[in-house]
Structure 1
Amino acid sequence: MRNIIFFLLLVLFGTNPQVWAQSGSTTGAIFAVVKDPQDAVITGATVTIKQQETNFIRNVETNQDGTFQLIQLPPGNYELSVSANGYNLTKTQINLTIGSTLVTLIKLSIASVDSVVEVTADNPVTEVRIESSNINSSNRIENLPINRRDFLDFALTSPRVTPDRVPNQGVFSTSGLSFNGQSGRFNNITIDGLDNNDTNQGAVRATFSQEAVQEFQVVSDGYSAEFGRALAGVVNIVTKAGNNDFHSTLFFLNRNDEISARDVFDTSKTPYSQYQFGATLSGPIKRDKAFFFTSFERLSIKQNIIVTLSDQTVKAGRNQNYPLKNGAEPFSVGTTSFLARGDVRLSAQDSLWVRYNGSFTYNGAFEPFGGLTDRSSSGILDVRDNSLAFNNTYFSSTLGLVNETRFLYGRRKQSTLPVSRDAGVQLLTPEGTVSFGHNNFLPEFNNQRIYQIVNNVSLSRGINQIKFGVDFTYVDRPPQNNAGLLPDGLGVFSPLDFSSLFGMPGLPFFTGLEAFDPTLRSPQQRAFLGFVSASIPGFPSNINLADSAIPIIYLQGFGNKEMTFKEKLFSFFLQDDIRLRENLVVKAGVRYDINRLDFTPSNNGNFSPRLGISYRPKKLPKMSLHAAYGLFFSLPFARSTSSARASETGLKTLLVAFPLSVIPFSLPGHKFSSLNQLPAGVDFVPQLNIGTQYQPDLRSSYSQQATTGVDYLIGSDTTISLTYSYVRGLKLLSLREINPVVNPIANNPLQGMIIGRVDPTKGSLFEFETAFDSYYHGFTIALSRRLAKRLNFLAHYTFSKGIDNIADFSVVVTDRQNNPLDIASERGLSLQDVRNRFSLSSTWELSYTNNPLLRDFHLSTIVSVNSGRPYNLLAGVDLNLNGDGGLSDRPTGLGRNVGVTPGFATVDMRLSRTLNIKERYKIQGFVEAFNLFNRVNINPNLIDRTFSPNNQGGFNLPPQENGRYTVTANRFRGAFAPRQFQVGIRLSF
């Protein structure tokens, strides 16, 4: 590899240097042709680019063909000046955005009395685009209504980006963004070109105030070889920097229950308050040379989540010493974030910046509850996330070279503690599958130290724009990391049909509640249980089965849960933008990634070829055609390592089936002692253990992406786009039971678990496998208007379809395979499938109407509408007797995800007025409305989707619409937030 890199450098530096435009992950570029009035090119013209806020200046000269390129320019407002002997000086105002390459034609006029020519709208600036991307400018960030000021939510205004449909999982959370129907775990979120991902499970590390964001780019597909470590989408965030003027902002926002609507599932309006406040301060340390920027923000929330357990279930839980509650359950959230950045211009060719950001969060409901999940199953988060970043950029016009060196050090300390230490319960009730008691995966400790170094070189050689670089990331996880699984036990309660269980007709049938709460049993049921307990060999005589809860299975983990492991990620990329003609650009590149995660199977790395093309017909200069294809590889997830490694190092998960499952649940706390070792007198039976391992020949998950589209510029600032996107996910990581019961023993499920598995010497065995795949087809029509003074908007509609055979690799998700030995039977609509989606985001300056009542007013809105998502119908009982306790069984004959949830629609709006006080001071007041029309949007993760069989074995399924099962209103258990108003004030100078 070292020899190859040396050879490439020799070839690249050994050719004639010319400057060429090259955009980057945190910068933009400009390509232009300079001509005289007769359309002859002008050679040797002097070109000066000046950033208006900092007076940053870079100089180049036009080439023999009259072209020039300015590369690796930070996003911002620029003045582009071009001069030549015998011609007037020409100035062009340009707004450059992240990741963009702007193309323009500059015509110089013959020298006359007017020595300066200002070029504006009559000289259009167009953008070369190959990838599917969207820029969220500072104007959108400052003016659009965004809930909690979480700027990553702006990504949801981009085409083919939707909220991740995988259930909210707390410590197993995702990035929350699904690109092109892929899981939210497969994205790459970067800040200033450096990693901001939690590689444990594909989530996002802490961010900072929205006030600190200059702009960010959302790239859904077709991105260049510079971007990797993602098979779905990329989000590039650029932080603000100081400039030659002092600036400061103070802001305060508040919302409460008095100006918000009532939750539809709440019987009365419950207390709710949320406030955010913060400040920024920036300016020069030394004019034109050194600058600083700082920001601070605090978010505090006190609110309630509605638990919809029935009174009967609450009473049953209390009878078993579980203090259940229904209705509103209060909790609080608090986040404090800081950011400080300093920029220094070391010379005309050399610049440096250093950034610190820290975030400190408390979340009393990090493990989600509500609906059919009681507060006792939640978890409390405490996280401290600190990062220190460094960037050095060196530019040489002589060599046509820009070199960037970046470094990141991050430290994350996260703990999530359980609310309850009583054994967890999963109970099938008339209202659905209910969860309460100890969370299965807590306590959880996630401590990381992250080191990253990046070095990129941008060059120009003839018609080629060349960029190559290396990236090395090292993640150290100290021994405090915890991989606990069921440390306080879990009892699973579902209907008990003793006629089916014992093969004798006429025996009693117990509902899930009757199995859980002895006070609900009839005298006949109690008498029968007294007979059963006396007839079970070895059943303890001191346990009265008639007065005991009867879980169908009971599980509890034992062993040392702490571990340490390291992660090493190395990548190299080479890409070349080839301008074959003035109107034809080909982008070719290749990326190599090799990832090493302790205790996981290793391979020789992965090569990712990328190819894209952009063509602008000469007869239709406002039209641009583009297409791209490439391979995109994901990272390994350390969360899977902790689970598999824990099994290898002796962590045992005991699985006990009925009737012996009654024994641990009858103990204090409904569990064995929570120790690292099995309790005295409890024998470990290998066939009653749950283990986890890796597929021996584990491969890297990747996708093939192909996209094609056409853009047409209407006027000078409005674009209509048509795009087709195809994404094929391959070797996707998930979890599969490879040792289920295949030979159940009639009338004796416990014996079936011991001798009836694929390998009867082992117990239940889950394997992390890269054996799953997905398909996505999406067609998008978009209309955008930006950089206009009065009205800016982005509107798009996407028709798409997603198919896969995977839910998630997380052990939290219960949607596992109905038949884990037949993956093909799991093929169905993806949880991420959104057949129809419309989005509109717009900002509108109302002053242009000249109406005095609208003077200084600004209106903005975000409209989101999408069709329903698939959902998986569950039976709640172990119909196929494969030993999973019914966690993944579907009603007989049904495929996966054959249901559809209600659609979603919401309108958010913001109205503001800005008053200028003297020249530099501004005060802005605003009102924001979220879900303006108070539409009830049912949360698809809070529906009752369990359809257990009746006494005759039949299923009372919901009605169908267009061949898909709907959700009836009686199965709604929770909704997204109702209408909420927020008022705020902002002072700035």
Structure 2
Amino acid sequence: YSVALGGPIIKDRVFFFGSAERITENRRLDFNFPVTGSAVVDQLLRNQEEPFDNPTQSRETRVFFKLNEQLGRHQLTQEVNYTNGLVREFLPLSAGQSLPSSRSDTGARRLLLAFGDTILLGEQSNPFILTLRGAYRGEPSDTRPSHPEAGPGTRFNPFSAPGFLFGTLPQIFFGNSLTASNLNQKYTSFTANANKLFGDHDVKFGWNFLRTKVDGLDPRVLNSQVFSSVNDFAEFGPVNGGISLLAAIGGLTPEDDEIHLRNNYNGLFVQDDWKLRSNLTVNLGLRWEHDSEFEAKRNFAPRLGVAWAVTPKTVVRANVGLFYDQFRLGLARNVPSFGGTDQRVQQLLLFPRGLYGSPSFVSSIGLLLLGNGPCLSNAFVGNLTDAQITAAGTRCPLNPSLPLIGVDRLNNVVAPGRTPIPANTVITASNVQALTGLTPDQYAAQASAAVGQPAGYFVFGPFGVLNNPIIPPQGAPVTLDGTFKTPHTLGFNIGVQREITKDMVVEVDYYHRNIRNLLGVRASNLAFRARVAGSERSFDPAGATAQIVTFGPFYEGKYDALIVNFNKRFSRRFLLGANYTFAKATDNSAGIFAFPSDSFIGTVPEVTERGTGTTNANGSFTSTNGNFVAQAGTFLNGPDLDKGPSDLAVNHIFQINGLVELPWQFQVSGIFRAQSGFRFSRNATTFVDPDGNGSFGGNDLGPGAGRNAFTAPAFVNLDMRFTKRFDIGERVKVDLFFEFFNLLNRQNPAAVFQQQNVAQNPVGSKSQVLPGREGQVGFRIEF
């Protein structure tokens, strides 16, 4: 529901406009439950998730009010803009493999107060135009899981039969990875600029100021990957069903999760629109920008623009310039030196039933990723016990020089005189003493020794089960890299506009953007040798044991686009517009706070692989762990391993819109849009750790793949509106309208399957689709 009202308060002096709107929507998400290929798992997931599959509820109130006053040589404006919204049970369909328990509730309130004064100074015929603006914006918000009782975020890797690492059934996501969070953002801005004509020069200069103050609590992240057979999942549930790889992100103390950002931005600028000839104008500009937190004082941004009327109907435009980024929440929220959080990452491997329950070699992930863990029996090798291994003389299939540890090894860790723990028994901190006669600490220490590892290898931790901290939290907070620079873009464009008729024009424009010093994190002290088998998680200088994470300008991007636009203004009872965009956008950033697949940047040193003696002194080679090792003496920019199409890159976009006015005050209008599908990455079929930091990424980086190397099916949509106007007297008009969205009822993809080797769900096929055909009716009264 909405209402708007405007008009003069004092004739020719004071005007007002106000509007209010209330939006209420209950929408049943067009969600499709996944089909895993196992009827048992499908039914279990439905039973678990159907109580959470509720409609999304959206409530929003919007209020806007504006005053304009003309007082002598002053034009004053005051503006208030207020919104208050709440969304319950929301999850974007783009998270198409996530079940209803992953949904979140969000609330936000936004208040904008703005004041302005435009003043004419000096002589009436050619005055100085002085513009003063001030604004305050407050944005408190919060986000929380809709169903915290569903547990943490879980990626379920179901196995219909044992496999080497991954199963052949689709991966399923349920639970919410994030804890409750909140933000209170406050921004205060001031702007002052002056404009004056000096002959053929139109000169403008001014100052911009923005005060940023953000306080809040960032969410902690808990992601669990469960590797389980479908039968074990049915019997034991998501926590105890199999081996779990748990990634936890959070502060070491509650205070470390807090955000307290403060920044003052100042910008000074001067520009000159110089009319060189009657048909040629040159724009010259220079801007200086400074953020108090960035401490960069030499951010000067020159800009040049040209507009040339070749003929009365043809105009050529071009510009080139440097544009600096500014301090903002998205850049700074997880950098402690800026006032952001100090959150650390750790990875744990959970063994809820001792060594039982592993359908693959995932239980030996320490050996696979770090090269120094035990080789554990699992379902893929037949769940061999110690007695069976001894009788057959079986060695570790991953490394025959190592022994294979029987699946019952931890079940035999008991106090003298006690019987072994029965196979497949869930072992927790609360029941281990009853099962073994040992305290939890005693059992964990003896279990570590039983697999040939030092005390502390196994501990009781999250969910009360036995776990192995394979990657401990980093020892120091994220720090600013010594090469820190402000991100900036060097861009230019050139275009031509041609008038075909008095109401019809065609435009062609080319845009280029070179995006430099994109900020992000990397493991800056990770040694190059860490990628070689046997030297995983090695740090510089030699002997260092802790990873150092820095935030700096390690990434870059590029954007090129050709845009063709056609526009016919309303005449002869219709208007028409169309445009086509061909674009290419690439970068090597996996995300501001996501580690690159390869953190190393620098000249490659000489390394030698233990065991084989292979060296990179005279050429590159592939280590026995599958990692590529570049030749010594060459320069390696590791983040380029992630170079590919940008996350939001769309190669082709075509759109056409129009309106036709029919007799008897009928109108028909519509918008048709067709574009290439969104980009996505294919999931790897093995653990991928190109730089040896012990943290594996999920993207397939092999031949024919890479980050965002694949494209989803195309998006095609047609929206239409049918309107009938009624005149009631001379001053009242009523519009009745009927609108269709997605009139063609096309099943446009919201998400696609990314997992390989799943016969029923090929890579790139649709997992969730956007809403189909929808319609609505409404009316508008004008008086």
State if a TM-score over 0.5 links the two structures.
Answer: yes
User: Distance between the aligned counterparts of 2:238 and 2:569, measured in 1?
Assistant: 71
Distance 1:320 1:786 in 2: 55
* Deviation at residue 737 of structure 1 after TM alignment: 4.3
Identify if the C-alpha distance between structure 1 residues 712 and 380 changes in structure 2 by more than 3 Å, giving closer, same or farther.
Answer: same
Q: Is the 8 A contact 2:53 2:100 kept in 1?
A: no
Matches within 5 A, 1:251-650: 277-305=1-29, 306-310=31-35, 323-325=48-50, 329-347=54-72, 349-366=73-90, 368=92, 371-396=96-121, 397-421=124-148, 422-429=151-158, 430=168, 432-440=170-178, 442-478=179-215, 481-486=216-221, 489-493=222-226, 512-514=227-229, 518-519=232-233, 549-555=242-248, 557=250, 558-559=252-253, 560=255, 561-597=257-293, 601-617=294-310, 620-645=311-336
Summarize the Cα distance change of 1:895–1:716 in structure 2 as closer, same or farther, 3 Å threshold. same
Q: After superposition, give the CA deviation of every residue in 1:345-398 in whole Å (9 maximum; x if it has no partner).
A: 111x21111011100010124553652112222221111111111011112434
CA distance in 2, matches of 1:907, 1:341: 35
Give the match for residue 682 of structure 2.
873
Structure 1 distance, partners of 2:41, 2:460, is 18
Residue 664 of structure 2: aligned partner: 855
Question: Aligned with 1:518: secondary structure?
Answer: helix
Shift of 1:830: 2.7
Name the CA distance, whole Å, in 2 between partners of 1:691 and 1:394: 50
> How big is the shift at 1:761?
4.5
* Alpha-carbon separation, structure 2, partners of 1:303 and 1:285: 42
> Shift of residue 633 of structure 1?
1.4
Q: How does 1:766-915 map to 2 (within 5 A)?
A: 766-786=549-569, 788=571, 790-811=573-594, 817-821=596-600, 822-846=638-662, 854-875=663-684, 877-880=686-689, 882=692, 886-890=696-700, 892-893=702-703, 894-915=705-726
Q: Which of 967, 973, 977 is matched with 2:767 structurally? A: 973
1:503 is aligned to none
Q: 1:671 to 1:787 in 2, by over 3 A?
A: farther
Q: Distance in 1 between matches of 2:33 and 2:475?
A: 34
- Residue 931 of structure 1 pairs with residue 742 of structure 2: yes
CA distance in structure 2 between the aligned counterparts of 1:666 and 1:971, rounded to whole angstroms: 41
- Specify the alignment match of 1:209 in structure 2: none
Q: Deviation at 1:444?
A: 1.5
CA offset at residue 829 of structure 1? 2.6
CA shift, 1:434, in A, is: 2.8
Distance 2:740 2:519 in 1: 40
Measured in 1, the distance between the counterparts of 2:341 and 2:322 equals 38
Give the distance between the partners of 1:608 and 1:433, measured in 2 at CA: 48
Seen in structure 2, the aligned counterparts of structure 1 residues 904 and 884 have a Cα distance that, compared at 3 Å, is farther
Counterpart-to-counterpart distance in 2, 1:322 and 1:746: 46
2:271 and 2:61 mapped to 1: Cα distance?
40
- What residue in structure 1 maps to residue 629 of structure 2? none
2-structure distance, mates of 1:565, 1:393: 33
Paired residue total: 626
What is the one-letter code of the residue matched to 2:567? Answer: S
Confirm or deny: 8 A CA contact 2:36 2:169 kept in the other structure: no
- On the 8 A contact 1:796/1:840 being kept in 2, the answer is yes
Work out the CA distance in 2 between the residues paired with 1:314 and 1:281: 59
Give unpaired runs (5+ residues) of structure 1: 1-276, 494-511, 527-543, 847-853, 948-954, 959-966
- Whether contact under 8 Å (1:718, 1:783) holds in the other structure is yes
Change in 2 beyond 3 A, CA 1:683/1:705: closer
Contact 2:752 2:764 in 1 (8 A): no
Matched-pair contact (CA < 8 Å) for 1:307–1:329: no
Q: Which residue of 2 aligns with 1:119?
A: none
**SS state of the match for residue 590, structure 1?**
strand
Does the aligned pair in 2 maintain the 1:473–1:570 contact within 8 Å? Answer: yes
Q: Is the 8 A contact 2:262 2:339 kept in 1?
A: no
CA distance, structure 2, for counterparts of residue 922 and residue 761 of structure 1:
77
Percent identical pairs in the alignment equals 20
- What amino acid maps onto 1:826 in structure 2? D
Alignment partner of 1:643: what SS? coil
Report the CA distance between 1:471 and its aligned residue. 0.8
SS in 2 for 1:616: strand
User: In structure 2, do the counterparts of structure 1 residues 298 and 875 end up closer, same or farther at CA, with 3 Å as the change threshold?
Assistant: same
In structure 2, distance between residues paired with 1:546 and 1:567: 44
Distance in 2 between the 1:380 and 1:780 partners? 39
* CA-to-aligned-CA distance 1:937-977 (integer Å, 9 cap, x gap): 112xx212122xxxxxxx6899xxxxxxxx94884211122
- Measured in 1, the distance between the counterparts of 2:717 and 2:57 equals 25
Deviations, residues 596-655 of structure 1 (Å, cap 9, x unaligned): 23xxx52114111111111112xx311111111111112233244331219999955462
Shift in Å, 1:898: 2.1
For 1:866 and 1:826, the matched residues in 2 are separated by 25
**Residue 333 of structure 2 aligns to a residue in which SS?**
helix
- 1:322–1:453 distance in 2 versus 1, CA, 3 Å: farther
Aligned partner letter, 1:575: Q
CA RMSD in angstroms comes to 3.9
Task: State the SS of the aligned residue for 1:896.
Answer: coil
Contact 1:742-1:758 within 8 A present in 2 as well:
no
Displacement after TM superposition at 1:473 (Å): 0.8
Kept in 1, the 8 Å contact 2:214–2:262? The answer is yes
The CA distance in 2 between the partners of 1:323 and 1:281, in whole Å, is 50
Do 1:689 and 1:762's aligned partners in 2 also have CA atoms closer than 8 Å? no
Is this contact kept in 2: 1:387–1:411, CA < 8 A? Answer: yes
The normalised TM-score by structure 2 is 0.72
Report the CA distance between 1:485 and its aligned residue.
2.6
SS where residue 699 of structure 1 aligns?
coil
Q: Is the 8 A contact 1:928 1:982 kept in 2?
A: yes
In structure 1, distance between residues paired with 2:265 and 2:213: 12
List gaps (5 residues or longer) in structure 2: 159-167, 355-425, 431-458, 601-637
Q: Distance in 1 between matches of 2:548 and 2:497?
A: 51
Does structure 2 conserve the Cα–Cα contact (< 8 Å) formed by 1:733 and 1:771? yes
SS at match of 2:335: helix
Confirm or deny that 1:716 pairs with 2:502.
yes
Residue 922 of structure 1 pairs with residue 733 of structure 2: yes
Counterpart of 2:373 in structure 1 is: none
CA distance in 2, matches of 1:739, 1:352: 57
Which residue type is aligned with residue 245 of structure 2?
I
Q: Is the 8 A contact 2:307 2:318 kept in 1?
A: yes
Report the residue type matching 2:517 in the other structure: K
Displacement of 1:758: 8.4
Kept in 1, the 8 Å contact 2:52–2:147? The answer is no
Structure 1 match to 2:480 = 694
Q: 1:986/1:635 Cα in 2 relative to 1: closer, same or farther (>3 Å)?
A: same
Residues 475 and 400 of structure 1: CA distance in aligned 2, closer, same or farther (over 3 Å): same
1:662-701 aligned at under 5 Å gives the runs 692-701=478-487
Q: Write the distance in 1 (CA, Å) between the matches of 2:64 and 2:3.
A: 11
Task: Give the aligned residue type for 1:827.
Answer: K
**C-alpha deviation, 1:338, in angstroms:** 0.2
Counterpart position of 2:607:
none
What secondary structure is seen at the aligned counterpart in 2 of 1:824?
helix
SS of 1:368 mapped into structure 2: coil
